[in-house]
Amino acid sequence: MVEDFEHCYRAVQSRDPRFDGWFFTAVTTTGIFCRPSCPARTPHRSHVRFYPSAAAAHEAGFRACLRCRPDVAPGSPEWNTRADVAARAMRLVADGIVDREGVGGLARRLGYSPRQLQRLLLAEAGAGPAAIARVQRAQTARVLIETTDLPMADVAFGAGFSSVRQFNDTVRELLGRSPTTLRRRCRHGSTENAPGGSHGAPAGARLSLRLAYRRPMACEALLGFLGARAVEGVETFDGHVYARTLRLPHGHGVVSLEPADDHVVASLSLTDLRDLAVAVSRCRRLLDLDADPEAVDAALAEDALLRPLVGSTPGMRVPGAVDGFEIAVRAILGQQVSVAAARSVAAGLTAGLGEVLEPGLGTDPALARLFPDAAAICGASDEQLATSAVRRAALRALAQEVAGGSMLIDPGADPAVVAAGLLGVRGIGPWSVAYVALRALGDPDAFAPGDLGVRRAVERLGRPGTPAAVLELASKWRPWRAYAMVHLWAFDSRVDAPRGTTEEAA
């Protein structure tokens, strides 16, 4: 359980939504657990227990509140920003690795034995990896129950359960209702915060979900960044809604992301419903939805240089990724060229090598292809890799490492190992390593002092813009230098100037 009882209880008394996802409140007299912001009457302190994760509360015998829906709260920023084994394990569980490879597969990825990993996660999250994955399956099942008219057998297997009986037993145990009761309750409109959706068939089904986040959030700046770098055929941005194609473990998908007052509406089309939880997890990482913006803003606003930028754009998020290899490829293409030029080369690469989506997946004909994977780039000709000889060599070397399994660029990767591997590829420099760390690995302290946009922004703010001077200045921004870099990029983009990316040698 969470040790600082008084701090947590005061948060519950204030019903402060900023603490949602940091911990969960369990009530012994009712047997349920809630978000800290649950609107129900505050229970007496003698009846309250606090847990670091929903899985820990479930393991202790509590079920999720049907009023505040703690299962759809933003995730803990602890797992979003840390790079230790526990945080990497939590991110991999969210990405579905336990369902695909089992606890043994997760342990192998992290270099631990299953028993060691079990002990580690019990200490950090209050539950082992199998229990955490079980809760995630129940949450996915709940979404499918409430947002589709699928038969319950399809819901069970789509959520990752091995049998309908296991599905029924788990839903009853963790959610306190049978699947049919949950669907009936949702149809009668008695569930607060229920995700909206459209009903359909398993293949190509379109689901509409609400992805919660902590306020404030600079949605316009984040989506604008992604839109300015949208690759034709893979991504679109109309000034308000960002959409893209997805390569997922069991098939393909298309998602559109539209900001709302306290959530982002994610409209998903999937070829296989087993990919729902993975798609949601990757969209959350793409938009940095589990961040704690008030903590980041408060730290950066202590510096006089950044204070005006933070004040003008509170809640800035770091743009993430749905595929780490894609970001590494785009980093190579973006070295020493403009954003527009890199985007054009990436579009040509996609047109020649990107896999075509299945007919009928999604409704936008502009979203027709997936970004090329490592195998496609390994087999590409010089004409298909329409870039310089140095970049072609770097792309092929990177693709061979990733395709062969010797380099993993995903939420569970060790940033130090990835950085060493990338720097070992001829043609990849420090700027690309920092860009991959920032976007693909979610490192909140990733920083590139040689980035041209950062240097130019610092100069326009009245400070020296040499890499050494910028690096010294940025020492005050730790451990949030990635957020500072995004602020500086946004400031630079508001000034009419030629768009560059870096002055580092590739």
Query: Are 55 and 126 contacting, i.e. CB atoms less than 8 angstroms apart?
Result: yes
Q: Is the peptide bond before 195 cis (omega within 30 degrees of 0)?
A: no
SS3 48: strand
**Two tokens, residue 353:** 């090598």
- What H or E segment, with its residue span, contains residue 460? helix 452-460
Question: Does the annotation mark 34 as catalytic?
Answer: yes
**3-state DSSP of 258-276:** EECCCEEEEEEEECCHHHH
Distance CA 435, CA 502 (A): 11
Distance CA 283, CA 357 (A): 19
Question: Does the annotation mark 451 as catalytic?
Answer: yes
Distance CA 35, CA 29 (A): 16
**Two tokens, residue 308:** 């005006």
Would strands 32-34 and 63-64 be described as parallel, antiparallel, or unpaired? Answer: parallel
Q: Angle at CA 255, nearest 5°, toward 406 and 338?
A: 65
HSE value, Cβ hemisphere, 13 Å, CA-based, for 412: 20
Burial class (CB within 10 angstroms; exposed 0-12, middle 13-18, buried 19+) of 11: buried
Which is catalytic among the residues 34, 38, 68, 283? 34
Q: Angle at CA 51, nearest 5°, toward 46 and 52?
A: 150
Which is catalytic among the residues 95, 323, 445, 451? 451
Alpha helices in 306-373 (DSSP H): 307-312, 324-333, 339-353
- What H or E segment, with its residue span, contains residue 248? strand 242-248
322 Cβ partners below 8 Å, 6+ apart?
Answer: 244, 246, 282, 283, 285, 286
- What H or E segment, with its residue span, contains residue 63? strand 63-64
> Catalytic residues, which ones?
34, 451
